[in-house]
């Protein structure tokens, strides 16, 4: 059984911890873990002191991400991108907008309706396995929501990297096929 720590104001770091596993760490303590269930699918399990959730990208033309308590078939929140805006909307009406918060340095945040960053990732370098520093506004968020937002944001960033890798593979295969013709 994993012993989780409550994320607070201490320095947090999002790290690659194995094949398709990322962890949110505060020093030696573990605040959250994101693990993908298979090498090819989008289903992932996010765990922290507040509970466990599953994340899954669904849909083809307008994909979105479902957030459910582990073992539940009911969406607790949905992450949806429309008109260049990505929003995490909870069933109780709370909502957070995903945005890149710095132009020169790739920093990504979930912001509340007033524009205040609730969870911010600052990657140390590019790539899915790259570590990132994480800031959580635990003082203004309901218990467990900061960690859940960090898990959703981590999931979104891993999906982006997977999509980039798939695009490179597809372009390379197309180039090889065209050259062979």
Residue-wise pLDDT tens digits, 128-160: 556 788 888 877 887 788 889 989 988 887 787
Closest CA to 148 of 6, 36, 10, 29: 6
Q: Return the higher-pLDDT residue of 60 and 33.
A: 33
Residue 107 belongs to some domain of the structure: yes
Q: Which domain covers residue 156, as residue numbers?
A: 12-175
pTM of the predicted model as reported, rounded to 2 decimal places: 0.82
For the chain, the distance separating the N- and C-terminal CA atoms, rounded to the nearest angstrom, is 55
pLDDT at 159: 80
Residue 118 belongs to some domain of the structure: yes
Number of domains in the chain: 1
Q: CB neighbours of 84 closer than 8 A, spacing ≥ 6?
A: none
Cβ neighbours around 149 below 10 Å, total: 21
Q: Report percent pLDDT > 70 for the chain.
A: 90
What digits encode the pLDDT tens for the residues 78-114? Answer: 999 888 889 999 999 999 998 887 666 678 888 999 9
The continuous run of DSSP H or E covering 78 comes out as strand 75-82
Residue 7 belongs to some domain of the structure: no
Residue 2 belongs to some domain of the structure: no
């Amino acid at each position: 059984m994993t012993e989780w720590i409550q994320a607070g104001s201490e320095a947090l770091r999002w790290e690659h911890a194995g094949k398709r596993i990322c962890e949110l760490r505060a020093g030696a303590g573990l605040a959250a873990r994101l693990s993908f269930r298979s090498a090819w699918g989008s289903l992932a399990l996010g765990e922290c002191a507040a509970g466990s959730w599953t994340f899954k990208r669904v849909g083809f033309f307008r994909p979105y991400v479902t957030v459910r308590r582990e073992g539940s078939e009911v969406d607790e929140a949905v992450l949806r991108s429309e008109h260049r805006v990505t929003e995490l909307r909870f069933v109780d009406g709370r909502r957070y907008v995903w945005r890149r918060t710095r132009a020169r340095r790739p920093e990504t945040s979930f912001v509340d309706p007033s524009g205040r960053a609730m969870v911010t990732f600052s990657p140390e370098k590019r790539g899915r396995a790259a570590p990132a520093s994480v800031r959580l506004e635990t003082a203004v968020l309901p218990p467990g929501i900061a960690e859940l937002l960090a898990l959703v944001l981590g999931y979104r960033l891993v999906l982006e990297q997977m999509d980039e890798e798939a695009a490179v593979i597809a372009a390379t295969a197309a180039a090889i096929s065209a050259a062979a013709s």
